[in-house]
Amino acid sequence: MKLTLGKRADYSVRAVLDLARHHGDGRRTTRAIAAEMAIPVNYLPALLAELVRAGLVRSVAGRGGGYVLARAPEQVSLLEVIEVAEDEPTRECVLRGGPCRWQDACAVHEPLSEAREALRSSLAATSFADLVARDAALDVEHAATGHAHDR
Protein backbone atom coordinates (compact mmCIF):
# COMPACT_ATOMS: atom_id res chain seq x y z
CA MET A 1 0.00 0.00 0.00
CA LYS A 2 1.33 3.39 -0.94
CA LEU A 3 0.86 6.20 1.55
CA THR A 4 2.58 9.46 0.70
CA LEU A 5 2.04 13.15 1.21
CA GLY A 6 1.83 15.54 -1.68
CA LYS A 7 4.63 18.08 -2.04
CA ARG A 8 2.62 20.89 -0.41
CA ALA A 9 1.81 18.77 2.65
CA ASP A 10 5.37 17.42 2.87
CA TYR A 11 6.88 20.91 2.83
CA SER A 12 4.22 22.27 5.21
CA VAL A 13 4.93 19.50 7.72
CA ARG A 14 8.66 20.19 7.42
CA ALA A 15 8.13 23.92 7.98
CA VAL A 16 5.97 23.39 11.06
CA LEU A 17 8.45 20.82 12.39
CA ASP A 18 11.18 23.47 12.09
CA LEU A 19 9.03 26.00 13.94
CA ALA A 20 8.28 23.40 16.62
CA ARG A 21 11.99 22.61 17.05
CA HIS A 22 12.70 26.31 17.56
CA HIS A 23 9.59 27.07 19.62
CA GLY A 24 10.44 29.72 22.20
CA ASP A 25 13.65 30.76 20.41
CA GLY A 26 12.14 33.71 18.53
CA ARG A 27 11.01 34.16 14.95
CA ARG A 28 12.31 32.04 12.09
CA THR A 29 12.91 33.45 8.64
CA THR A 30 11.84 31.71 5.46
CA ARG A 31 15.51 31.38 4.49
CA ALA A 32 16.41 29.66 7.77
CA ILE A 33 13.44 27.28 7.55
CA ALA A 34 14.09 26.50 3.89
CA ALA A 35 17.80 25.85 4.46
CA GLU A 36 17.32 23.63 7.49
CA MET A 37 14.40 21.65 6.09
CA ALA A 38 15.40 21.40 2.40
CA ILE A 39 12.37 23.34 1.16
CA PRO A 40 12.66 25.50 -1.97
CA VAL A 41 12.89 29.06 -0.62
CA ASN A 42 10.63 30.45 -3.37
CA TYR A 43 7.90 27.91 -2.56
CA LEU A 44 7.86 28.39 1.20
CA PRO A 45 6.16 31.82 1.63
CA ALA A 46 2.93 30.62 -0.02
CA LEU A 47 2.84 27.55 2.26
CA LEU A 48 3.50 29.62 5.34
CA ALA A 49 0.76 32.07 4.29
CA GLU A 50 -1.71 29.16 4.19
CA LEU A 51 -0.61 28.07 7.67
CA VAL A 52 -1.02 31.66 8.91
CA ARG A 53 -4.55 31.86 7.42
CA ALA A 54 -5.38 28.57 9.16
CA GLY A 55 -4.24 30.00 12.50
CA LEU A 56 -1.41 27.51 13.00
CA VAL A 57 1.45 29.97 12.41
CA ARG A 58 1.90 33.67 13.18
CA SER A 59 3.98 36.02 11.08
CA VAL A 60 5.62 39.38 11.64
CA ALA A 61 6.63 41.36 8.56
CA GLY A 62 9.69 43.54 8.14
CA ARG A 63 13.14 43.65 9.63
CA GLY A 64 13.40 41.22 12.52
CA GLY A 65 10.22 39.53 11.31
CA GLY A 66 9.58 35.91 10.66
CA TYR A 67 7.37 33.04 11.70
CA VAL A 68 6.44 31.27 14.94
CA LEU A 69 3.87 28.67 15.86
CA ALA A 70 0.57 30.20 16.95
CA ARG A 71 0.24 27.53 19.67
CA ALA A 72 2.63 25.33 21.61
CA PRO A 73 3.90 22.29 19.63
CA GLU A 74 1.90 20.04 21.98
CA GLN A 75 -1.27 21.73 20.72
CA VAL A 76 -0.65 21.41 16.98
CA SER A 77 -1.50 18.06 15.41
CA LEU A 78 0.01 16.52 12.34
CA LEU A 79 -3.51 16.16 10.94
CA GLU A 80 -4.17 19.92 11.19
CA VAL A 81 -1.10 20.75 9.10
CA ILE A 82 -1.80 18.08 6.50
CA GLU A 83 -5.42 19.21 6.16
CA VAL A 84 -4.29 22.79 5.46
CA ALA A 85 -2.02 21.64 2.63
CA GLU A 86 -3.88 18.69 1.10
CA ASP A 87 -7.11 18.92 -0.82
CA GLU A 88 -9.86 16.61 0.36
CA PRO A 89 -9.86 13.62 -1.98
CA THR A 90 -12.87 13.24 -4.20
CA ARG A 91 -14.93 10.22 -3.39
CA GLU A 92 -14.94 7.79 -6.25
CA CYS A 93 -15.33 4.06 -6.52
CA VAL A 94 -12.08 2.20 -5.92
CA LEU A 95 -13.31 -0.74 -7.97
CA ARG A 96 -14.35 1.12 -11.10
CA GLY A 97 -12.51 4.47 -10.96
CA GLY A 98 -15.73 6.49 -11.16
CA PRO A 99 -18.84 7.14 -9.09
CA CYS A 100 -20.37 4.10 -7.47
CA ARG A 101 -23.64 2.82 -8.83
CA TRP A 102 -24.94 1.55 -5.45
CA GLN A 103 -26.07 4.86 -3.97
CA ASP A 104 -22.49 6.18 -3.75
CA ALA A 105 -21.06 3.03 -2.13
CA CYS A 106 -19.63 -0.33 -3.05
CA ALA A 107 -18.38 -3.31 -1.08
CA VAL A 108 -14.92 -1.77 -0.67
CA HIS A 109 -15.99 1.67 0.59
CA GLU A 110 -16.72 0.72 4.20
CA PRO A 111 -13.34 -0.97 4.91
CA LEU A 112 -11.50 1.87 3.19
CA SER A 113 -13.53 4.45 5.09
CA GLU A 114 -12.62 2.73 8.37
CA ALA A 115 -8.94 2.68 7.37
CA ARG A 116 -9.04 6.40 6.49
CA GLU A 117 -10.66 7.20 9.84
CA ALA A 118 -7.98 5.19 11.70
CA LEU A 119 -5.28 7.13 9.84
CA ARG A 120 -6.96 10.46 10.63
CA SER A 121 -7.20 9.50 14.31
CA SER A 122 -3.52 8.60 14.42
CA LEU A 123 -2.49 11.86 12.73
CA ALA A 124 -4.76 13.85 15.05
CA ALA A 125 -3.19 12.18 18.08
CA THR A 126 0.35 13.03 16.93
CA SER A 127 1.49 16.48 18.02
CA PHE A 128 4.49 18.38 16.74
CA ALA A 129 6.00 18.02 20.22
CA ASP A 130 5.87 14.24 19.60
CA LEU A 131 7.56 14.72 16.23
CA VAL A 132 10.30 16.94 17.69
CA ALA A 133 11.01 14.26 20.33
CA ARG A 134 11.10 11.50 17.70
CA ASP A 135 13.35 13.59 15.47
CA ALA A 136 15.77 14.25 18.34
CA ALA A 137 15.87 10.52 19.14
CA LEU A 138 16.67 9.77 15.50
CA ASP A 139 19.49 12.33 15.60
CA VAL A 140 20.96 10.58 18.65
CA GLU A 141 20.56 7.15 17.05
CA HIS A 142 22.17 8.27 13.81
CA ALA A 143 25.03 9.99 15.64
CA ALA A 144 25.69 6.78 17.60
CA THR A 145 25.84 4.71 14.40
CA GLY A 146 27.83 7.32 12.48
CA HIS A 147 25.11 7.95 9.91
CA ALA A 148 23.92 11.43 9.02
CA HIS A 149 20.24 12.13 9.64
CA ASP A 150 18.75 13.37 6.38
CA ARG A 151 16.11 16.02 6.92
Query: 10 Å Cβ neighbour count for 114?
Result: 10
Please state, rounded to an integer, the average pLDDT across all residues of the chain: 86
Domain range enclosing 20: 7-145
Q: What is the CATH number of the domain that holds 130?
A: 1.10.10.10
Domains: count for the chain = 1
Q: Is the pLDDT of residue 107 over 90?
A: no
Residue 92 within a domain: yes
Give the confidence band of 78 by pLDDT, cuts at 50, 70, 90. very high
Q: What is the pLDDT of residues 21-71, one digit of tens each?
A: 999 999 999 999 999 999 999 999 999 999 999 999 999 888 888 999 999
Q: What is the DSSP letter of 28?
A: B
Distance CA 35, CA 38 (A): 5
Residue 70 within a domain: yes
Which pairing describes strands 66-69 and 57-60: parallel, antiparallel, or unpaired? antiparallel
- Residue 77 sits at φ, ψ, to 5 deg, of -95, 155
Residue 1 within a domain: no
